[in-house]
Amino acid sequence: MERYQRHIALAGFGNKGQETIKNTSVLIIGAGGLGVPVMQQLTACGIGTIGIMDGDTIEISNLPRQVLYTEQDVGKAKVAVAAQRLLLMNSEVNIIKYPFFLNAEKALELFKSYDIIVDATDRFDARYLINDACVLFNKPWVYGAVFQWEGQWAVWNFSVNDAEKTTYRDLFPIPPKANLIPDCNAQGVFATVPQIVGYFMANELIKMVLYPKELKSNSLMYFHFLKNSFQSLGIVPRSETIKTPLTAKDILDFDYSYYCGYKTEKDKEGILTILDKDTLIVDVRNKEEVPRLPLKCLEIPLHQLPDRIQELTANKILFVCQTGKRSKVAYEIYKTLLPQSIVDYYPYNIELFIKNHHHA
């Protein structure tokens, strides 16, 4: 126990406290700006099992905020690099890799195996899915979000002193419209902000495990980093009835992406309204990402696209990636490098693509 002697020396902590930490399992969804500090601190503290879920790869723009990664890691899968670095920090922690993005099937399969879920994503559809799955399995979860110089965090579905539990839907019963959602990609976030919020999230999680009576549940913590001001917003259960998924089948049937405005009616109509024999499908994911497409396509990882742009000779192109984010970037690259071409804009989510194509 030499590693944790400063923990053990704390009054009332001792070996029992460290054993409690060791026997805790945490699933962290998102290995980016918020996920990195949460992963680092929980690994250092000795959490026994840490699952990491993320289907993304490391980009050069990630490095100021996601300090676990280096320039040599650009283009590599976040989950693989994170697991390797965390084991160098603490080889006694059991790290489980999930190199894919969250969906309803994965939530229902994996959440029940973990004590606590951590939301380190940046999407509303993921948060509502996490919330509903945690309510279904009676799992507490830690939430964090950042924007520019601001950050907030909370613990949901957790009761202190038999108080009534609150959930993310009590704070946001319905999602904001997609065009009103603040976007850090467009409007920025300073590097220290997710680091600090991530450490507060890890701190709340440790309190949940060891000192639950000290945890301020049913509240949203807010911090403005320029003004150095804290605020606490009390959350109460909502009495009005809003239809929400309550069973596993409800969650599987609920279209979270459409609900949160990330998908359009064209997405809901399906891939067959877009595809024809003249469509060139371009998969801009990395080679190791799964699942692979079940039909003929051109595979060009996003970071290679500028050098291989001349391979895109069709007039109708469908860019495909895991969530639609990289395919949108691919479209912008194409439009910039080949401005004389006329192409339709169809950035597509790989899981939606496969689901619709398989159904057809």
Position 270 pLDDT exceeds 60: no
Domains in the chain: how many in total? 2
State whether 137 and 182 are in the same domain. Answer: yes
Q: Average pLDDT for residues 274-289, to the nearest whole number?
A: 80
Active-site residue (options: 45, 134, 184, 260) = 184
Query: Do 109 and 184 reside in the same domain of the chain?
Result: yes
The residue-averaged pLDDT of 112-139 equals: 94
Task: Output the domain CATH number for residue 316.
Answer: 3.40.250.10
**Residue 61 pLDDT grade (very low, low, confident, very high; cuts 50, 70, 90):** confident
Whole-prediction pTM value? 0.75
* In contact, 199 and 41? CB cutoff 8 Å: yes
Is the pLDDT assigned to residue 179 strictly greater than 60?
no
Active site residue 260: no
Which pLDDT value is given to residue 190? 84
pLDDT at residue number 354: 66
* CATH number reported for the structural domain that contains residue 10 in this entry: 3.40.50.720
Instruction: Round to whole Å and give the CA distance between 277 and 295.
Output: 12
Orientation angle between helical segments 35-45 and 192-210, nearest 10 degrees: 40
| Catalytic annotation present for 134 | no
Q: Is residue 83 domain-shared with residue 8, that is, in the same domain?
A: yes
User: Would you say residue 359 has pLDDT above 50?
Assistant: no
Q: What is the pLDDT of residue 344?
A: 58
For residues 252 and 276, which has the higher predicted lDDT (pLDDT)?
A: 252
Percentage above 70 pLDDT, the chain:
86
Q: Are 293 and 281 in contact (CB under 8 A)?
A: yes
Residue 230 sits at φ, ψ, to 5 deg, of -105, 145
195/289 same-domain check = no
In this predicted structure, what is the pLDDT of residue 200? Answer: 94
How high is the pLDDT of residue 360?
Answer: 43
Task: Place 183 in a pLDDT band, splitting at 50, 70 and 90.
Answer: low
Q: 313 and 224 in one domain?
A: no
For residues 329 and 24, the model is more confident at: 24
Q: pLDDT tens across 286-311, in order?
A: 887 777 777 788 999 998 999 998 88
- Please indicate, yes or no, whether residues 196 and 238 belong to a single structural domain of this protein: yes
Strand pairing partners for 150? Answer: 147, 224
Q: Which of 219, 253, 287 is the last residue of a domain?
A: 253
Range of the domain at 90: 2-253
Quote the radius of gyration of the chain (alpha carbons, Å): 21
Distance separating the N- and C-terminal Cα atoms of the chain: 58
| Distance of alpha carbon 182 from alpha carbon 188, whole angstroms | 9
In the listed set 232, 253, 274, which residue is the last one of a domain according to the structure?
253
The answer to whether residue 277 scores a pLDDT higher than 80 is no
Q: Is residue 60 pLDDT above 60, yes or no?
A: yes
CA 335 – CA 78 distance, rounded (Å): 28
- pLDDT of res. 39: 97
pLDDT the model gives residue 130: 97
> What is the pLDDT at residue 36?
96
- Tell me the backbone φ, ψ of residue 98, rounded to 5 degrees: -125, 90
Residue 288 identity: E
In the set 45, 134, 260, 321, the catalytic residue is 321
Per-residue pLDDT at 215:
85
- 239 within a domain of the structure (yes/no): yes
Of 84, 145, 156, the C-alpha closest to 117 is: 156
Q: Measured on CA atoms in the order 230, 236, 237, 241, is the torsion positive or negative?
A: negative
Residue 285 placed within a domain: yes
- DSSP assignment string, 62-95: GTTT-TT--GGGTTSBHHHHHHHHHHHH-TTSEE
Same domain? For 174 and 299 the reply is: no
Q: Is residue 258 part of a domain?
A: no
pLDDT at 315 over 90: no
Q: Calculate mean pLDDT across residues 169-173.
A: 87
Bond preceding residue 291 cis, omega within 30 of 0: yes
**Distance, CA of 68 to CA of 228 (rounded, Å):** 26
Any domain includes 155? yes
Mean pLDDT over each residue of the chain, to the nearest integer:
85
